[in-house]
Structure 1
Amino acid sequence: MLSGRRYLLDLSPEQQEMCEEFGKICRSVWNTALEQRREYRRRGAWMNYAPQCAELAAAKAEQPWLKAAPSHALQQTLKDLDRACRDHGTFQVRWRSKARWSPSFRFPDAKQISVERLGRKWGRVKLPKLGWVRFRWCRPPGGEIRSATVSRKGGRWFVSFLVDDQAAACRQHATPGTAVGIDRGVKTAVVTSDGDFYDRPFITAGEIVRYRRLQQRLARSKRGSANRQKTITAMGRIMSRVSDRRGDFCVQTAARIVAKNALVVLEDLRIKNMSASASGSVAEPGRNVRQKAGLNRAILDKGWHRLELALTNAARYTSTRVVKVNPAYTSQRCSACG
């Protein structure tokens, strides 16, 4: 099976500058290709990956700055855009903003990737144009590496390997016939029909105070200044820790649930619609906007969608079946069985 392994990179100043430059070039290619696709759709025509990849090769001759980034990373950017447009529609795909998008790029050719262990805590990986890069060896990759993705999160750089761990799915669950229903809430993250409650705080009281102070500092800072960028980085560092705790909670909870049950039933919730803003327009403002904003924060804080992804991923190894049902009337007590 294919699984991901993420490691913390230890980049030199030169390598960090190169990664920043690669990310900017990939963002520019994404936005330019997306605008081209939208322009074609306005005229009733289509633009796909193959012609855009050919035009990218021609653009490198006219724009030398495109040659600074690896060719495979740029081609992979076009592939990701093509997949996003096919899944969501050309006009639903978002731009990659300079202020909000975290740089990332992928090396899809496994032949150009080499991994070595240097010691108990450190290893290194050889990537195109970056050369050998040290990373924190927290666990072995555990399989054949298919691709590598370099990304920045919370001011730190990471490398994620797509690994084929050679694990085969079980033909039958260890305890066939077992089933559980899951209710996702805002007071308690996960409640099962067996009576188990799973929840934990993802942010500490000190981090809340620190984050509010940074928000005040951000509001007073000048746009485009170095101090504003430092504040944004500090805020991202706090939120990255919160996100990591949330992801760790979802993975551990999913592992416990699928290990005990051959069938897991979830409500088919439209989380994106449920967490949409109630502010409305200027002409027709929404009602109970502040209350709805608090509910949206609670929904997103509990990681409902992330739990669903973790359950789907963990179920591959235990042959657990994950089923989503209509959420209508699921909060009512059954009159027959209670």
Structure 2
Amino acid sequence: MLTGFRYRLAPTGEQAGLCQVYGDICRAVWNTGLHQRREAVRRWQRGQDLPYCGYHLQARQLAEAKTEEEWLKTAPSHILQQTLRDLDRACRDHGTFNVCWRAKGRWKPSFRFPAGARVIVQRLGRKWGRLKLPKLGWVRFRWSRAPKGTVRSATVSRDGAHWYVSLLCEDGQTTPQAHERPDSAVGIDRGVVVAVATSDGDLFNRTFQTPKEHERERRLRRRLSRQHKGSANRARTKAALSKLTGRVRARRADFAAQTARVLCAKNAVVVLEKLHTTNMTRSAKGTVDAPGTHVRQKAGLNRAILARGWHGFKLACQNAARRTATRIVEVNPAYTSQTCHPCGHVAPENRESQSVFRCVVCGYRAHADVNAARNTLVRGWTSPSG
């Protein structure tokens, strides 16, 4: 089973500079390759007979370009080839015109060493270790835990002011044949006020951003909007904002991983609502000819949904399910919050408030999110995949 281990690097000034250069070159290769693929699709749509623009063609062109362009020779060849492989997979999974450009101001530099056998990890003491990366040499890192298994690849990335390395290791474990509690199941309702509610009546929640942090983020974003692009002050503001939002992302990921581990360890089946977060958080501004309504209210709801990390929690459940043989089932979420679990009556009036559910027919009372989670569980048992 593949497991990731992430560590904070402590590179020298020269090594940090090389990492930045490698990241910039990989970004240029990605954007060039994406441009070639989009142009090839446009020409094919116009009826021109051209060879398929895939990984192998672009890898040959990259090898030819490295003989002519000196700046391409700076980065190791295998991380550039891996960038093209990632681009090829993204285009096949999402479509060529749905893959995003890697903009200089928004993209965080990263690159991957696919040859794990060339990555050597050593422990130096209680808090420090070092690993040997091609062309970078020995790089020190914070030893928070020991990597288990054989290293398959190493990804170096920058988050804020720090560089990190993610080791993908084969730990030798396999998914169990069956869950320890094969008859157990739970329904999950993901909400805005309460992050996760279960059909068992449990409410999992956590404050990801304190009021003071929210106010500081608002001030930093206001300051950033008034500063000139490319200025030193803007760079310092972006670094402070990245540090603040990084802490929030870490708390959200930690909450999702811990909650998913608890739920998957206790249940053989976890039923989730099939939520299309991208569509749910689409802007309500509309167009010039047909402007939207309640734009500010919809913007606030979008921020609340994204702040809860619904998609990240789903990925955390899928990751935890590998070790417990838990099945993740997704069902249609329509009217789960308006349906009475005991009698099945559907009406908007059943939900008195955000947290109170009272059926107008049978008088059943419960927490609104718990009632929705129980309806989700019922749909999971009756669905074809359940």
- TM-score w.r.t. the length of structure 2 is 0.86
* Structure-2 residue corresponding to 1:17: 17
Alpha-carbon offset, residue 212 of structure 1:
2.0
Q: Is there any run of 5+ residues in structure 1 with no aligned partner, and where?
A: none
Contact 2:113 2:153 in 1 (8 A): yes
* Structure-2 residue corresponding to 1:296: 302
The reply on whether 1:113 has 2:126 as its aligned counterpart is no
Q: Deviations over 1:253-283 (max 9, x none)?
A: 0011011111100011111100111112222
Alpha-carbon offset, residue 327 of structure 1:
1.2
The 3-state SS of whatever aligns with 1:97 is: coil
Correspondence 1:49-88 to 2 at 5 A: 49-88=55-94
* Structure-2 residue corresponding to 1:95: 101
Q: Percent identity?
A: 58
2:319 alignment partner, one of 298, 308, 313:
313
d(CA) in 1 for partners of 2:131, 2:310: 34
* Structure-2 residue corresponding to 1:173: 179
* Structure-1 residue corresponding to 2:232: 226
Alpha-carbon offset, residue 5 of structure 1:
0.6
Contact 2:9 2:164 in 1 (8 A): yes
The 3-state SS of whatever aligns with 2:97 is: coil
RMSD across aligned positions (CA)? 1.1
Alpha-carbon offset, residue 334 of structure 1:
2.8
Correspondence 1:236-275 to 2 at 5 A: 236-275=242-281
Alpha-carbon offset, residue 328 of structure 1:
1.8
Alpha-carbon offset, residue 204 of structure 1:
1.7
2:188 alignment partner, one of 173, 182, 185:
182
The reply on whether 1:333 has 2:340 as its aligned counterpart is yes
* Structure-2 residue corresponding to 1:287: 293
Alpha-carbon offset, residue 25 of structure 1:
0.3
The 3-state SS of whatever aligns with 2:98 is: coil
What amino acid sits opposite 1:18 in the alignment? L
d(CA) in 2 for partners of 1:86, 1:28: 20
* Structure-2 residue corresponding to 1:5: 5
What amino acid sits opposite 1:26 in the alignment? C
Contact 1:117 1:124 in 2 (8 A): yes
d(CA) in 2 for partners of 1:298, 1:216: 19
d(CA) in 2 for partners of 1:27, 1:96: 6
Alpha-carbon offset, residue 203 of structure 1:
1.0
What amino acid sits opposite 1:9 in the alignment? L
* Structure-1 residue corresponding to 2:135: 129
Larger radius of gyration: 2
Contact 2:271 2:328 in 1 (8 A): yes
What amino acid sits opposite 1:108 in the alignment? P
Aligned residues: 338
Contact 1:188 1:197 in 2 (8 A): yes
Q: Deviations over 1:78-131 (max 9, x none)?
A: 000000000111111110000000000000001211000000000001001110
d(CA) in 2 for partners of 1:291, 1:155: 34
What amino acid sits opposite 1:250 in the alignment? A
The 3-state SS of whatever aligns with 2:225 is: helix
The reply on whether 1:213 has 2:219 as its aligned counterpart is yes
* Structure-1 residue corresponding to 2:43: 43
What amino acid sits opposite 2:166 in the alignment? S
d(CA) in 2 for partners of 1:280, 1:113: 50
What amino acid sits opposite 2:341 in the alignment? C
d(CA) in 2 for partners of 1:59, 1:101: 24
Alpha-carbon offset, residue 230 of structure 1:
1.1
Contact 2:117 2:151 in 1 (8 A): no
Contact 1:279 1:289 in 2 (8 A): yes
d(CA) in 2 for partners of 1:265, 1:209: 36
What amino acid sits opposite 2:186 in the alignment? V
What amino acid sits opposite 1:301 in the alignment? A
The 3-state SS of whatever aligns with 1:224 is: coil
Alpha-carbon offset, residue 336 of structure 1:
4.4
- TM-score w.r.t. the length of structure 1 is 0.98
d(CA) in 1 for partners of 2:227, 2:280: 33
Q: Is there any run of 5+ residues in structure 2 with no aligned partner, and where?
A: 45-49, 345-363, 365-386
* Structure-2 residue corresponding to 1:26: 26
The 3-state SS of whatever aligns with 2:30 is: helix
d(CA) in 1 for partners of 2:137, 2:288: 53
Contact 2:22 2:111 in 1 (8 A): yes
Alpha-carbon offset, residue 220 of structure 1:
2.1
